C-alpha cells in the first residue's frame, strides 16, 4: 500500500515524470518557514544567495526538519522504496520583478549520479503560478535518455552553468506546475523543465529537495548525503549530520567543505566554478549550485 501518493499519482510519475500538487505542509507551517528564511535575510541585510542556497538543510534546523518531513519522505518511499537519502537541496528564489529564469534542462546533466532514480520534491513557500514564473515541465520527456546540453552561463539563468538542452522543446506541450504554499511537486531527474522570469510584485520561493534510494552512487567525485529513512547498506556517501543550531559554526564549516566539493562535481570540465579563479567565483556567487 502506498503511504502518501495514490496509485494514480505513482502511475503518473512513471508515465509523465511528474506529479502535483501534493500537500505536505499546512499553509501556516509554510509561512513559518518562509518567515524564518526572511528573518535570517533581514539579519544579514541581503537575500539568501550563492552557496547559502545550496544544501541549506545542513545550516538551519527548520530545513533539516523539512527534508525529513513525514509526508514528503512517505511520497518518496512510494516511488523509490524504504531506504532513502536526501542527496541535496536548493532554494529557487525569484525576487519580485526579476529577470531570473531557468532554461529548459534535465537535472541529471551534471549531477554525476550513476542512475536516474532521483526525484526532486519542489516545496512551495509562496504561491508559484502563471504570474510569478512557475516551473513548467514537458510531460514524458524523462523517458528520453540523457540529452546533450550547452552551457550558456547567462547572467539571469539560475542554473549553475546556465545549461540548456540542445534538442528542440515544443513549448506547446509544457504543463505549468502551479502550487500554493505548503504544496509540493515531484519531478524525475530526466524530466525536461524550466521556468520564466517573475514580473510580479512578489517573491516566488521554492525549496527543491533531491532524494535518492541508497543504491544510487556518485561517480564524479567525493560526495555526502543525509539518510532520511531506512538503512544505508551501500554507504558510498559520507554521512551528513543535522545542524545542532541555526548557522552553528561546526555546521557552517561542514557546509563550506561540502559545497566546495560539490562545486567541483557540478562545474567539472569548466574553469568557471574553480575556487582558484576569482572572476569565476564572483560569477558563481549569484547562483545556487544545482
Ligand atoms: O524553480 C524553478 O523554477 C526551477 C526549479 C528546477 O529547475 C529544479 O528544481 O530542478
pLDDT at 88: 98
Sheet holding 136-137, edge to edge: 102-105, 193-195, 136-137, 175-176
Structural domain contains residue 269: yes
For residue 217, the enclosing domain spans: 7-284
- Grid coordinates of 93: 528564489
pLDDT at 169: 94
Structural domain contains residue 2: no
Structural domain contains residue 13: yes
For the chain, what is the domain count?
Answer: 1
Structural domain contains residue 289: no
Find the 140 Cα to ligand 1 centroid distance in Å: 17
Grid cell 534510494 is found at 213
Structural domain contains residue 105: yes
d(CA 222, CA 257): 11
> Could you give phi then psi for residue 213, rounded to 5 degrees?
-70, 160
Specify the residue with its C-alpha closest to ligand 1, atom 9.
208
pLDDT at 284: 47
Which CATH number belongs to the domain containing residue 113 in this structure? 2.60.120.620
Structural domain contains residue 206: yes
pLDDT at 40: 98
C-alpha gyration radius of the chain: 18
Count the neighbouring beta carbons within 10 Å of the beta carbon of residue 232: 17
Find the 102 Cα to ligand 1 centroid distance in Å: 7
Structural domain contains residue 247: yes
**CA angle (188 as vertex; 143, 283 as ends), nearest 5:** 115
Q: Which residues surround ligand 1 with Cβ inside 6 Å?
A: 92, 102, 107, 120, 122, 135, 193, 195, 206, 208
Q: What is the pLDDT of residues 28-41, one digit of tens each?
A: 999 999 999 999 99
pLDDT at 285: 44
Find the 23 Cα to ligand 1 centroid distance in Å: 18
Q: Identify the segments of the chain with pLDDT beneath 50.
A: 274-286
pLDDT at 268: 92
Structural domain contains residue 155: yes
Q: What is the pLDDT of residues 97-147, one digit of tens each?
A: 999 999 999 999 999 999 999 999 999 999 999 999 999 999 999 999 999
d(CA 135, CA 112): 23
Per DSSP, helices labelled H in 132-277 are 249-266
DSSP state, residue 181:
T
Amino acid at each position: 500500500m502506498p503511504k502518501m501518493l495514490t496509485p494514480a499519482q505513482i502511475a503518473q510519475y512513471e508515465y509523465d515524470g511528474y506529479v502535483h500538487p501534493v500537500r505536505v505542509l499546512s499553509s501556516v507551517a509554510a509561512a513559518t518557514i518562509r518567515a524564518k528564511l526572511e528573518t535570517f535575510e533581514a539579519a544579514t541585510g541581503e537575500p539568501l544567495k550563492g552557496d547559502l542556497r545550496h544544501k541549506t538543510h545542513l545550516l538551519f534546523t527548520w530545513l533539516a526538519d523539512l527534508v525529513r518531513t513525514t509526508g514528503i519522505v512517505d511520497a518518496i518511499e512510494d516511488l523509490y522504496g524504504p531506504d532513502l537519502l536526501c542527496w541535496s537541496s536548493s532554494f529557487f528564489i525569484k525576487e519580485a520583478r526579476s529577470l531570473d529564469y531557468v532554461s529548459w534542462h534535465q537535472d541529471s546533466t551534471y549531477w554525476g549520479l550513476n542512475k536516474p532514480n532521483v526525484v526532486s520534491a519542489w516545496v512551495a513557500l509562496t504561491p508559484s503560478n502563471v504570474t510569478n514564473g512557475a516551473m513548467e515541465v514537458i510531460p514524458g520527456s524523462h523517458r528520453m535518455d540523457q540529452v546533450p546540453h550547452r552551457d550558456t552561463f547567462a547572467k539571469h539563468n539560475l542554473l549553475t552553468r546556465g545549461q540548456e538542452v540542445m534538442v528542440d522543446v515544443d513549448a506547446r506541450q509544457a504543463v505549468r506546475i502551479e502550487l500554493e504554499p505548503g504544496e509540493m511537486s515531484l519531478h524525475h531527474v530526466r524530466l525536461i523543465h524550466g521556468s520564466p522570469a517573475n514580473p510580479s510584485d512578489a517573491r516566488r520561493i521554492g525549496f527543491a529537495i533531491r532524494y535518492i534510494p541508497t543504491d544510487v552512487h556518485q561517480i564524479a567525485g567525493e560526495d555526502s548525503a543525509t539518510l532520511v529513512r531506512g538503512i544505508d547498506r551501500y554507504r558510498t556517501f559520507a554521512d551528513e549530520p543535522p545542524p545542532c543550531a541555526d548557522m552553528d559554526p561546526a555546521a557552517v564549516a561542514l557546509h563550506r567543505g561540502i559545497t566546495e566539493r560539490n562545486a567541483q562535481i557540478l562545474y567539472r570540465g569548466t574553469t568557471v566554478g574553480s575556487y582558484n579563479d576569482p572572476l569565476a567565483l564572483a560569477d558563481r556567487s549569484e547562483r545556487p549550485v544545482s
